Amino acid sequence: MESFAAEASFMLNAAGNAFVIMMEPTRLAFLSMGAFLGLILGILPGVGGLAGTAMLLPFTFSMDPYTAFAFLLGLGSTVATGDPIPAVLFGVPGGAASAATVLDGYPMAKRGEAGRALSAAYMSSLMGGVFGAALLAVSIPILRPAMLYIGSPELLAFAVFGISMVAVLSGRAPLRGLAAACFGIMMAMVGADPQSGTLRWTFDTAYLWEGLPLLPIVLGLFALPEMCDLMIARTAIAAGSNKMDIYKGQWQGVKDCFQHWWLIVRCSWIGGGIGSIPGISASVVDWLAYGHALRTEKGAAQTFGKGDVRGVIASESSNNAKEGGALVPTIAFGVPGSASMAILLGAFMMHGLVPGPDMLNKHLDITYSMVWSVALANLLGAGLCYAFSPQFARVALLRYTLICPAVLGIIYIGAFESSRNWGDLYTLLFFGLLGWIMKQFKWPRPPLILGLVLGDLIERYMFISVERYGIDWMTRPLVVILFALAIIGLVRPLLEDYRGQGGLRAILGSFGRARFEWGQLFTLFYLAVFSAMVIMSRGWQFNAKIVPLVVGGVALIAVVLSLLNQTFRKPAAAPASGTEISAADNAALLTGEKLPVNTGKIHMDIESDTAHLPLSTIIARAAMFFGYLLAFMGSTYLVGLIPTLFIFVVAFMRIEARERWTLVLSYAGFMVVFVTLVFDRIMKVPWPPSLLGEWMPALKVIPSL
Amino acid sequence: MNLHVPMRLTRLVFPALAACIAMGQLASPAAAQSAASFYKGKTVTVWVGNSAGGGYDLYARAFARHWGKHLAGNPEFIVKNRPGAGSMLLTNELYNILPKDGTAVGVIGRGMPLEKLLGNDLAKFDSSKFTWIGSANNEVSVCVSWAKTGVARFQDLKTRGMIVGGTGAGADTDSYPKAMNKILGTKLKLVTGYPGGNEIMLAMERGEVEGRCGYSWSSAVSTHADWLRDKRMNVLVQIAMQKHRDLPNVPLITELADNAEDKQVLEFLFAGQVWGRPFLAPPGVPADRAQALQDSFLAVTRDPAFIAEITKQKLEINPVPGPELARLLAVQHKAPPIVLKRAKEATD
């Protein structure tokens, strides 16, 4: 008891000292500067904390360690505060960890509640960030022993538990959700297999050797489809609402957060906890928190994905908390908890600090100064957001010709930032098209991301566990608990569905004559892709092909069942008397979504609001949209990315809406100056080489040529 | 054999540069003149084949901050990361796409120069044709064991064996133990798939693996000096061409070979340690500029400001001049077919 008291007073002392140190004006100034930069980087989709931290690193050489970490963490902590802004306003996730925010934030903006959604996002970010830091602060003494308890089998179990969320994130389309998750896992396995070095599905390209990068996929799946639908609908984002009271909305958002404080606490613990496990990627914490809220919040199954503020709160409180969590393995073991933490580790080295026991002992004040930095930066970030928010929220009222050019341009650059390769742009385009079709035909997209991130971990840690422990690892207590939770999470929704549909006989009874729908072609496409991937993998070494074969097999079964279901299921009976058939339900019937509505579940994704348009118009405008994207890439290939940006902005605004020339030219000019300044001058992005630049090297004075 | 582990850790002292300095030749005044007029007002890009924050990146950024002072014409230096396929992407681009006028230089993985020889079809370059600028460090890798396991000497690897962690096929952590098993008859059991080297060390601490092979000595000293001091970790063998001054009593891998051919294969496989952090430029850089780059590279390594910075970051500097790299690579390219064949088998 005495030693505990001594320990506690030692900690309090260090925490107090650290606070005094942090209050020094220069440090606060650098912290604020970092927080401000982080917000801006967060707002730009695809450009996240990683690029920013790398950029700031050289400036920290001459600082003392407290100031250096305040600067770097100031940036890292607020990126997640800036992320929801494009997610809410445009449906474009600002980073991989705020994709779940799109699901409810964007529908809220469409309803004219952008102000409320943003305000809830900031407040929950702030509270999540502070709770995350608090969790870190109190758990410091037990960090190392706790971490040493978590081995590869436990990591595997965590990943399996995470992937069991697929069941709840699939909504009322479990088979499609399962197939999408399997597709995500297969995509995660593209590249050199760590076990045997087999190059899986790389088609002899060096780009695919290290696997597909996450960010172009997230931007493709979630951002491009929203932009495409915006162009198809030809409206402003908040077209449906004619008046918007921003200040009232803001106040409402704050109230929402305090009303749901317990949800915030739980989600920030999820964020901080998952973020602190070394080896588990934190880029799915938003989905795990979202899935948790969906499971536990009252009535969530009916309203999530349709603009429920609790969805925004769950996602945003978790992703701000993860930064504090990610510090844990970095400080305690030198194992970076996230990509930007890897750079922070570089900063440790530069300041002569060695991660490990010393940081929790001799340098405890530095550790606490980091905790304070994270907490203070979250406060500053949320404050700045509130100050500028009214301006942001109005963006939702702008017409699409003003939104699309800038957002698409930044998405392209953001995607290119991930590995700075042409391949990123192809990946973006491919998943953009896939995402749009999935959205149209109501295939849930969240399971794909979950599979993509966790699939790699599951394969990795399964091999390590089996190789090292045989089957003994399965009896470890934490593994047993997590596996049990995963099974419950998987089986319960299935049983509910089964009962909801009236048992086996009722399900069989609902089958009828074969019918054809367009949606079946897409299912056939998946069938073909999975078959091709499985066939290609047959010749590989055992270690390289076992997981792809199993996952591919499960996927094929799911796709075939889904196809049978689409083909032979009678159209759903009218819902129980007294309920109206909504437009969305009608659209669902048209597109082949035929699970009876009385399971009480919803489609777990944003729905297209273009159903009122004739099919031919939708197809023509979508073709136009992807035509623009192709033209963008073609032009980048010819004359470089920045000149292309100018041409694209002018062409888009003139062709789509004959906007005034003065507006068009000043818009295009501003974009070019902004991108040149930020990406060429400050971040020194290596642009994709262009043909014109090859022919006439003298022209290379123009950036990106 | 007298194999024991160093009980004492000297402070990290940078190895003498004298030998290398003697090798650097002085450029003729005329050549320096023309290089100076070329580089004046230009920007030189240092391309890094790995991601920001890693070892290669730290070296590149440290060099870039000081290089301009020492290169004729004082150009501006900037760093760009081009990660992909373990830096093979960049190596291919340096050979085929990037400008050959001396404004593009790069740092690539030390395994890259041999990829083509070892039969990798993705390697679209002939490493003997590059303009080699120099290596920042002559690396020494080691095999370590967690002391609690009782594995204390190299001999134990042949009798008891050891579970080692790896980061994936093709990495040093994987290919070194495989090669040692095939050529030296050790019984290393490889458990691979860890996301990075730090994760292996954590797995060792919690008892999931028993040791690690292919662990840079400088990184061991900078991140786990306490384990070495408290003898919680044993150093079993050093993998390099020459012994590290800190480790006089740890056997060198090439000394452990049973016969001359085995020794040759080991030397072929581990020669890459000499060019531990290789800087290079595309083939065909004009001779005067190549010379200016090589000379200024060595000059940077003698700059007190650079040394102070690198010391703070706990990076090792033990430069190897460009012409020496080119010579070593030429030797590699002339390796007898049987050596090449066995080297391929050993890493397969």
Pick the CATH number of B141-271 from 2.60.410.10, 3.30.420.340, 3.30.420.40, 3.40.190.10: 3.40.190.10
pLDDT at B78: 86
Tokens of A263: 């949800």
Tell me which residue of A74, A68, A66, A70 sits closest to A35, measured CA to CA: A74
C-alpha distance from B309 to closest chain A C-alpha (Å): 8
pLDDT at A582: 40
pLDDT in tens, B110-162: 888 888 888 877 788 998 999 999 999 888 999 999 999 999 999 999 999 99
pLDDT at B9: 33
pLDDT at B274: 87
Helices (H), A395-500: 400-419, 422-440, 446-469, 477-500
pLDDT at A578: 36
> In 10 A of CB A114, how many CB atoms?
30
Return the domain boundaries, chain B: 18-136+275-336, 141-271
What distance separates the 2 farthest-apart alpha carbons in chain B? 63
Q: Are B47 and B80 in contact (CB under 8 A)?
A: yes
Q: Are A199 and A363 in contact (CB under 8 A)?
A: no
Helices (H), chain B: 18-23, 29-39, 55-70, 88-96, 112-115, 154-159, 172-184, 197-205, 217-223, 225-229, 260-270, 287-302, 304-312, 322-333, 337-347
The strand pairing partners of A511, in sequence order, are: A569
Nearest to B83 among A61, A333, A419 (CB): A419
C-alpha distance from A464 to closest chain B C-alpha (Å): 6
pLDDT at A242: 56
| Shared fold status for B18-136+275-336 and B141-271 | yes
- A175-205 as b/e, with b when 16 or more CB fall inside 10 Å? bbbbbbbbbbbbbbbbbbbbbbbbbbbbeee
The answer for B 77-106 residues in CB contact with A (under 8 A) is: 78-86, 88-89, 92, 97, 99
With beta carbons under 8 A apart, name residues in chain B contacting A419. 83-84
Tell me which residue of A465, A368, A324 sits closest to B165, measured CA to CA: A465
H or E element at residue A555:
helix A542-568
Return the domain boundaries, chain A: 2-562, 615-701
pLDDT in tens, B201-256: 989 999 999 999 999 898 888 888 889 999 999 999 999 988 999 999 999 999 99
Q: Residue A441: what are its φ and ψ, rounded to 5°?
A: -95, 10
The strand pairing partners of B143, in sequence order, are: B213, B237
Pick the CATH number of B18-136+275-336 from 3.30.110.40, 3.40.50.620, 3.40.50.300, 3.40.190.150: 3.40.190.150
Tell me which residue of A31, A36, A44, A43 sits closest to A73, measured CA to CA: A31
Q: Residue A338: what are its φ and ψ, rounded to 5°?
A: -155, 170
Nearest to B84 among A61, A149, A419 (CB): A419
| B95 pLDDT tier (thresholds 50, 70, 90) | very high
Query: CB under 8 Å to A481, separation ≥6 — which residues?
Result: none
Half-sphere exposure of A157 (CA within 13 A, CB side): 19
Which ipTM did the prediction report? 0.83
pLDDT at A46: 67
- DSSP code of residue B33: H
pLDDT at B186: 96
Q: Are B73 and B101 in contact (CB under 8 A)?
A: no
pLDDT at A559: 92
DSSP string, B301-312: HH-HHHHHHHHH
Tokens of A264: 């915030």
Give just the sign of the alpha carbon dihedral A326, A329, A334, A336. negative
The strand pairing partners of B105, in sequence order, are: B46
With beta carbons under 8 A apart, name residues in chain B contacting A210. 83-86
For chain B, give the percent of residues with pLDDT over 70. 90
C-alpha distance from B64 to closest chain A C-alpha (Å): 11
pLDDT at A527: 94
Q: Are B193 and A543 in contact (CB under 8 A)?
A: no
Asked if B309 is an interface residue toward chain A (Cβ–Cβ < 8 A), one would say yes
The answer for B 261-300 residues in CB contact with A (under 8 A) is: none
Half-sphere exposure of B113 (CA within 13 A, CB side): 32
Query: Are A333 and B88 inside 8 Å of each other by CB?
Result: no
pLDDT at B30: 53
Q: Which residue has the higher pLDDT, A573 or B332?
A: B332
Query: Are B199 and A346 inside 8 Å of each other by CB?
Result: no
> In 10 A of CB A580, how many CB atoms?
7
DSSP string, A155-218: HHHHHHHHHTTHHHHTTT-HHHHHHHHHHHHHHHT-EE-TTT--EES-TT-SGGGG---HHHHH
CA distance A622 to A614: 12
Tell me which residue of B37, B107, B41 sits closest to B68, measured CA to CA: B41
pLDDT at A215: 83
- DSSP code of residue A569: B
Tokens of B7: 């009980």
pLDDT at A594: 40
**pLDDT higher than 60, residue B191:** yes
CA distance B245 to A112: 70
CA distance A448 to A526: 13
Number of helices and strands in chain B (H, E): 15, 11
* Range from A441-450, A600-609, B38-47, B82-91 carrying the lowest mean pLDDT: A600-609
The segments of chain A whose pLDDT lies below 70 read: 1-4, 46-49, 58, 240-245, 279-282, 337-339, 571-602
Terminal-residue alpha carbon distance, chain B:
30
Q: Are A391 and A181 in contact (CB under 8 A)?
A: no
With beta carbons under 8 A apart, name residues in chain A contacting B209. 468
Tokens of A492: 């319960």
Tell me which residue of A560, A214, A253, A200 sits closest to A419, measured CA to CA: A214
- DSSP code of residue A94: S
Residue A235 zone, left/alpha/beta (φ > 0; ψ -120 to 50; rest):
beta
DSSP string, A281-318: -GGGHHHHHHHHHHHHSTTHHHHTTSS-HHHHHHHHHH
Tell how far CA A478 is from the center of its chain.
27
Q: Are A19 and A61 in contact (CB under 8 A)?
A: no
pLDDT in tens, A83-134: 888 899 888 888 777 889 999 999 998 888 888 999 999 999 999 988 888 8
Q: Which of A212, A328, A330, A350 should one mutate to test binding to chain B, selecting the residue with the greatest count of B CBs within 10 A?
A: A350
CA distance B121 to B207: 38
Mean pLDDT, rounded, for B281-289: 93
Task: Please state the pTM of the whole predicted model.
Answer: 0.84
